[in-house]
């Protein structure tokens, strides 16, 4: 498992978006590695806006019908880059094989093992959210800062056995909750495969949603879409909010920004005197 800031897959997807959509795009990826039974199920969820910023930064380019990019083209690009990444890791000696897979340490055997995958259709699914952006963010937020299993699913535990509840998604009825019993050593093994190495980032941002200018870029996009809170677009390109998100702690009304000054600088606007209590 490797962790890089900009992977070839995301880089090429952004180049494809710029070519096909005619816009600079952004995306947020969230790594999720576990299933309900603590099995190893690594996959990545990605949130992609339905459009992007025009190359000159003056307009918003909405995606075409079918949502964002052609899924079949994107899936084949992902397949090629993923397999090439595996080959590169194998050549550099960063892949380790055990038990029945020990023979894949041989380069020829590994190449033959990957050959059928080049002809298999890979599933890369992109669609607009049914419940809106809020539903997607709420769904992914349940995985970003949690561990593979929480205490409320544990039934019992001792030196020999750990018993916990898990959901069998193959069952289509409502009663999908099952009880699993694992030897303590096996439970610990399953849990530890979901502990990321030091310095590994579970969440990555790319394109418009990355970098130190992200807040300014998002504010500009909201301004272009006319969905931003009250704000001012200055001549130097910076966007200054005119109201704060937090309401007044006394009356609950909106707090309006009357002046912005740097650290150490004295404000020019004089605040009105507070009413004295009778």
Say yes or no to pLDDT of 155 above 80. yes
Please report the pLDDT score of residue 121 as a whole number.
86
Say yes or no to pLDDT of 7 above 60. no
CA distances 25 to 55, 61, 76, 127, 135, Å, are 10, 10, 20, 16, 21
- Which pTM was predicted? 0.63
Please report the pLDDT score of residue 78 as a whole number.
86
Say yes or no to pLDDT of 5 above 50. no
Which of these ranges, 4-18, 91-105, 126-140, 188-202, has the smallest mean pLDDT?
Answer: 4-18
User: Per-residue DSSP letters for the chain?
Assistant: ----SS-HHHHHHHHHHHHHT-SB-EEEEEEEEE-TTS-EEEEEEEE--SEEE-TTSSSEEEPPTTSSS-HHHHHHHHHHHHHHHHHHHHHTT-----GGGGGGGSHHHHHHHHGGGGTSPP-------TT-HHHHHHHHHHHHT--SS-GGGEEEE-SSEEEEEEE-TT--SS--EEEEEEEHHHHHHHHHTTSPPTT--SEEEEETTSSTTHHHHHHHHHHHHT-SPSEEE-TTS-EEESEEEEEPTTT-PEEEP-----TTPPPSSPPPPPPPP-
Say yes or no to pLDDT of 88 above 90. yes
Give the highest mean pLDDT range of 12-26, 141-155, 252-266.
Answer: 141-155
């Amino acid at each position: 498992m490797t962790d890089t800031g900009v992977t070839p897959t995301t880089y090429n997807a952004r180049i494809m978006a710029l070519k096909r959509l005619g816009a600079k795009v952004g995306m947020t990826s969230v790594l999720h590695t576990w299933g309900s039974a603590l099995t190893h199920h690594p996959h990545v969820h990605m949130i992609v806006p339905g459009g992007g910023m025009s190359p000159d930064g003056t307009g918003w380019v909405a995606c075409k019908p079918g949502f964002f990019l052609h899924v079949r083209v994107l899936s084949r690009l992902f397949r090629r880059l993923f397999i090439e990444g595996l080959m590169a890791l194998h050549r550099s000696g960063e892949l380790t094989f055990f038990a029945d897979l020990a023979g894949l340490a041989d380069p020829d055997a590994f190449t033959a093992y990957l050959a059928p995958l080049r002809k298999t259709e890979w599933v890369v699914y992109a669609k607009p959210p049914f419940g809106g952006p809020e539903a997607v963010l709420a769904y992914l937020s349940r995985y970003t800062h949690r561990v593979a299993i929480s205490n409320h699913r544990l039934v019992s535990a001792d030196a020999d056995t750990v018993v916990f509840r898990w959901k069998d998604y193959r069952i289509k009825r409502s009663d999908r909750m099952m009880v699993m019993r694992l030897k303590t050593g096996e439970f610990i093994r399953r849990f530890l495969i979901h502990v990321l190495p030091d310095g590994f980032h579970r969440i990555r941002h790319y394109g418009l949603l990355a970098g130190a200018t992200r807040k300014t870029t998002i504010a500009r996009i909201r301004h272009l879409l006319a969905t931003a809170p009250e704000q001012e677009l200055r001549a130097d390109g910076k966007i200054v909010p005119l109201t704060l998100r937090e309401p007044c702690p006394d009356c609950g009304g909106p707090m309006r920004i009357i002046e912005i000054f740097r650290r150490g600088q004295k404000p020019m606007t004089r605040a009105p005197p507070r009413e004295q209590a009778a």
